[in-house]
Chains A and B, each alone.
Chain A
Amino acid sequence: MAKAVAKQDQGQYLYERLKALEETYVATLNILEDFDEEKTKLDRAERALINILEDVEAQRSQSEHSKNLLELVNKELEAFSYSVSHDLRAPLRAIFGFAQAIEEDYGARLDEEGKRYLNLVKDNAEKMGQLIDDLLTFSRIGRRQMQKTQFDINNLAKKVYEELVSEEGDRDIEFKATIMPLAYGDESLVRQVLVNLLSNAIKFSRPMKKAVIEFGYSPKSEAYYVKDNGVGFDMRYVSKLFGVFQRLHSAEEFEGTGVGLALVNRIVTRHGGQAWAKGELDKGATFFFTLPKTEEEWKVK
């Protein structure tokens, strides 16, 4: 009897061991299954990651490619303007030089009309020289590395105005400059902006008995501005103002090559700013431009 019990116990024991083993087996299977599933997920994630990395790499090489292309185009542009500066000037110098030689050696044999024609040849050669110079400045400024600092734009404008007005003889001009925030950027480039805007203000207010020119700051639009009471312009043509070689006045009325405002726009845009204008015929014009005021603002833009 005792033996039978013992046997039954053993059977029970074995059965339980077996069951436990089976459970372990099932659990292991489950774990393995889970593991498999996890592995699939992991594989999928890995593949996704590889895809992303491949995309990033593709984008990187794309942007590397664009950068190289840009550098190449810049180099070509540099070579082009170099050759413009050298090769376009040479024939002009010859035209001017030999016209001068005719005047010196044969001037006595020319009548008034002949002399007038000769002067027209020289005037036009000189004008073309000015055009070439302006175009070169335009291309140089677009390429130049910027030296950034914070500076007193009010003071700069006053200095520029004094220099410009000293060449104007005894005109009656009132110049106002209000207090305004410091600007941040390339001071010598911004100086060029002020030279162009202020010399325009001086030029286009020439017909006025008393010219009033103002360098100010509009807190509303956060823009610096140059305002004059000169001949102004028709707002219908405002879109043409900032284009290269675009002019709203004939050379007889007002001299100029039509590069000044294009240059202003280019410099301001390179600073992350904007330039725009308001005007009315015979009632003056105002030219606005924005610039960063601190290094932080520069970085944001």
Chain B
Amino acid sequence: MESEIELILIEDNPSDVELLMRSVSKHHLVNNITVLKDGAEALDFFFGKDHFSPNKPYLILLDLKLPKVDGMEVLRRLKSEEHTKEVPVIVLTASQEDRDLKDAYKYGVNSYVTKPIDFKDFDRIVSQLEAYWIIVNKHPHEKRG
């Protein structure tokens, strides 16, 4: 599988970052991971001076409860700007509140996944996400042929 996907992880909890990287690295499907530690850093990355351009397949994993600017606001911006709205965004959150689920879909999230406590489940979910979003799903910026 010659996938060229770049993962952008927007997550403030260092333990979650490390556990996620651990899961992701097991499967060798991702060739680069960018970690953004809060909502402001994320907005700066996508909309700041060094203009982010989705010239290759990106996948964004977004936590909702983030310092400075919350994840829902980051999602809203990502989905309302022309150059970022096609990048698939998966909300990965501990929140099981109906309100968050509804709002996320209202803003156009591509997938909404809750973080389980059991790491085996967490690991399994990460594998499933990778399998689906990297192998099964067709990405708008994928090189064809």
Contact = CB atoms under 8 A, between A and B. Distances in A.
Interface of A: 82, 85-87, 89-94, 96-101, 125-126, 129, 136
A87 B13 CA distance: 10
Contacts of B16: 90, 93-94
A86 B19 CA distance: 17
B97 A85 contact: yes
Contact of A97 (B64, B65, B122): B122
A100 B119 contact: yes
A126 to B, nearest CB: 6
Contacts of B94: 85-86, 89-90, 93
Nearest to B22: A101
Majority-rule SS of A interface residues? helix
A45 B77 CA distance: 64
B120 interface: yes
B110 to A, nearest CB: 22
Interface string B14-44: 0110010010000000000000000000000
Contacts of A87: 65
B117 interface: yes
Contact of B97 (A82, A94, A97): A82
Interface of B: 13, 15-16, 19, 22, 64-65, 93-97, 115-120, 122-123
Given A96-B118, A97-B122, A86 B15 contact: no
A100 B95 contact: no
A100 B19 CA distance: 10
A85 B94 CA distance: 7
**Best-buried of B19, B64, B96, B117 by chain A (most CB within 10 Å):** B117
A85 B119 contact: no
A101 B123 CA distance: 11
B95 A86 contact: yes
Contacts of A85: 94-97
A157 to B, nearest CB: 26
**Best-buried of B16, B118, B122 by chain A (most CB within 10 Å):** B118
B117 A126 contact: yes
